[in-house]
Structure 1
Amino acid sequence: MLRTLFSGARDAVARVLIPDASGTLKRAWSLRLIELAALADIVLNVVPVVSDYLPWWLTLALLGGAWIARLLIQPEKEPADGDKA
């Protein structure tokens, strides 16, 4: 029951905020890399045992990859109709 409730709410929000939410999530590599960087930073700071296995620069590398993904890999979309002057 909760799964259908959350699924319906997610679909309603996606339709209101982003018309092509599924297509956007498939191409959102910068968002995925930023989330991985946040997770790596949290794990490195909360669990000190893991810091022996994960390098300290992992968060910086993931954020640099997110920057590259946003600027170079993801193409910009042209404005729909508003700014044609």
Structure 2
Amino acid sequence: MKLIPDVERVLKRAWSLRLIELAAISDIILNTVPAMDFLPWWATLALLAGAWTARLLWQPEPDKENPNANP
């Protein structure tokens, strides 16, 4: 069963998801390995802000006539 008919296209364009995953990894590293001095404390916040921006900029507008249609 496929939930999305164009999974490959969605995964290629899912930059917000990639940035959220990187933010989670950097947060885990910062909290578990205290000797990570090369990773700044604001890296997680910057990645999350980038994910939010990517989501706003690259998410297509919904179709006004058919809101359930895929772009």
TM-score scaled by length of structure 2? 0.83
Aligned length: 65
Indicate the residue corresponding to 1:71 in structure 2. 56
State whether structure 2 residue 41 is matched by structure 1 residue 56: yes
Query: Structure 1: how far apart are the matches of 2:62 and 2:4?
Result: 14
List aligned pairs for 1:30-41, cutoff 5 A.
Answer: 30-41=16-27
| Structure 2, gaps ≥5 residues long | none
Identity %: 71
Shift of 1:77: 4.3
Larger helix proportion of the pair? 1
Which structure has the larger Rg over C-alpha atoms? 1
| Structure 1, gaps ≥5 residues long | 1-11, 81-85
Indicate the residue corresponding to 1:44 in structure 2. 30
